[in-house]
Amino acid sequence: MLDLSLTSDQEQLVAAVRDFCSREFAPRIGADDRAGRHDPEIFAKLASLGLPGVCFPQRYGGHGLDYLALGLVCEELEYVDTVYRTVLSVHVGLVGMGLYTWGTEDQKQRWLAPMARGEKLACYGLTEPNAGSDVASMQSTARRTGTRYVLNGQKTWVSDADTADFLLVFAKTDPKGGSKGVSAFMLDRSASGKNALRTEPIEGRLGIRAGDVGSIFMSDLEVDEADRIGDEGDGFKIAMSCLDNGRYTVGAGATGTVRACLDASTKYAHERKTFGQEIGRYQLVQQMIARMARDYEISRLLYFKVAWMKNKGLRHTKEVSMCKQYATDAAFNAAHDAVEVHGAYGYSAEYPVERFLRNARAPIIYEGTREVHTILQGEYALGYRQDKPVKKSLPKYEPD
């Protein structure tokens, strides 16, 4: 039986996050964004609500809610600003759920549990200066010496690179092995020498200006083999399975931007008068607002479907690609139209819609560009790509 209603736990969570965001984040985000200031307390504030552990079992420091709860939280966070959703997205979606899927029991206790309890912040370093969409062409290396590895290379455009405690990075253990030569390693900043592991922020960004995005530099950085996730050569598969989770949070978050644009635009369309009546009376304005309303419903349904598949333990690479791509395009279109609905005021920082428009651009690029997702979906539709059996998959949802 199809049931899209929320459980009482989910309803309470949404209400708590919405209330918290309106008190703690909404009043300051405009100024933080204008100043390009990253609030170092964001993660601690998210942790005060228990959000880093929302969908992990209690034995790993979590709260045992399902994967839909995570999506609902992402929608609420991004309703205020993309930066808040990004912190949770990377920490829970890209890294935490990756560890939950691929980590050994010891690794889950060492890394996932403190992450879920909100004690440690994690980032995900896949992209390099010369390897974005073409992940397998990465140049970072991890040379094995006995039971240790020596890592060298650079990661860039990494969200929370400069603030994270734990850094999940990917490097070639077999430089000639293509995608099969990649392995995954967890770095602990506190246990790494300052010269061996260095991070720095990337300045001058179009949007998400209150965020932390940076580069990671690894120079003869030694890690133990116990810090490798999965087997040697599993790194590419791990990176892709992490992206199935990250993309879900990006799609759910973008749904929040669509709703924020819809709410701002309907309010303004009632307030603003031209030629003696509210601009909402004009069909051309209604057309823009109608598209926002429709895209909100479609985006939400897409992430609900992915949540359902995650809860059931079903493979969802195709569906999450559609969800991420559709919702991020919808968010950009909604923000573009929201600026139009607001006329010149939409172009000013007096209203949030110009921030929404700048913020909406990056999610179309990261976790697979629009083109990468179009190719993936086209290949599925044409039968050139089929899901093969996977080595590990995200555990289905089981109530604690």
Ligand X SMILES: Cc1cc2nc3c(=O)[nH]c(=O)nc-3n(C[C@H](O)[C@H](O)[C@H](O)COP(=O)(O)OP(=O)(O)OC[C@H]3O[C@@H](n4cnc5c(N)ncnc54)[C@H](O)[C@@H]3O)c2cc1C
From residue 220, give the alpha-carbon distance in Å to each of 113, 197, 231. Answer: 28, 9, 21
Instruction: Identify any residues that bridge with 167 across adjacent strands, giving them in sequence order.
Output: 123, 187
Contact 21, 79 (CB under 8 A): yes
Question: Closest residue (Cβ) to ligand X?
Answer: 132
Nearer to ligand X, 65 or 87 (CB): 87
Q: Does 351 bind ligand X (CB under 6 A)?
A: no
Smallest separation (angstroms) from ligand X to the CB of 240: 12
Catalytic residue among 232, 319, 354, 367: 367
C-alpha 189/C-alpha 85 separation (Å) is 23
Q: Residue 158's closest CA among 118, 102, 197, 117?
A: 197
Q: Is residue 216 within a helix (H) or strand (E), and if so which, with residue range?
A: strand 213-224
Contact 130, 96 (CB under 8 A): no
Nearer to ligand X, 371 or 400 (CB): 371
Show contacts with ligand X in window 162-221 (CB under 6 A). Answer: 208, 213
Q: Does 366 bind ligand X (CB under 6 A)?
A: yes
Smallest separation (angstroms) from ligand X to the CB of 289: 28
- C-alpha torsion angle, residues 193, 38, 171, 373 (rounded to 10): 180
Helix (H, G, I), strand (E, B) or coil at 122: strand
Smallest separation (angstroms) from ligand X to the CB of 64: 27
Show contacts with ligand X in window 86-145 (CB under 6 A). Answer: 90, 124-127, 132-134
Binding mask of the shown chain, residues 253 to 282, with x at each position contacting ligand X by CB under 6 A = ------------------------------
DSSP characters over 77-100: HHHH-HHHHHHHIIIIIIIIHHHH
Would you call 354 a catalytic residue per the annotation?
no
Q: Total binding residues for ligand X by CB under 6 A?
A: 21
Q: Does 159 bind ligand X (CB under 6 A)?
A: yes
Indicate which residues carry an active-site annotation: 367
The footprint of ligand X (CB under 6 A) covers 90, 124-127, 132-134, 157-159, 208, 213, 362, 365-367, 369, 371-372, 375
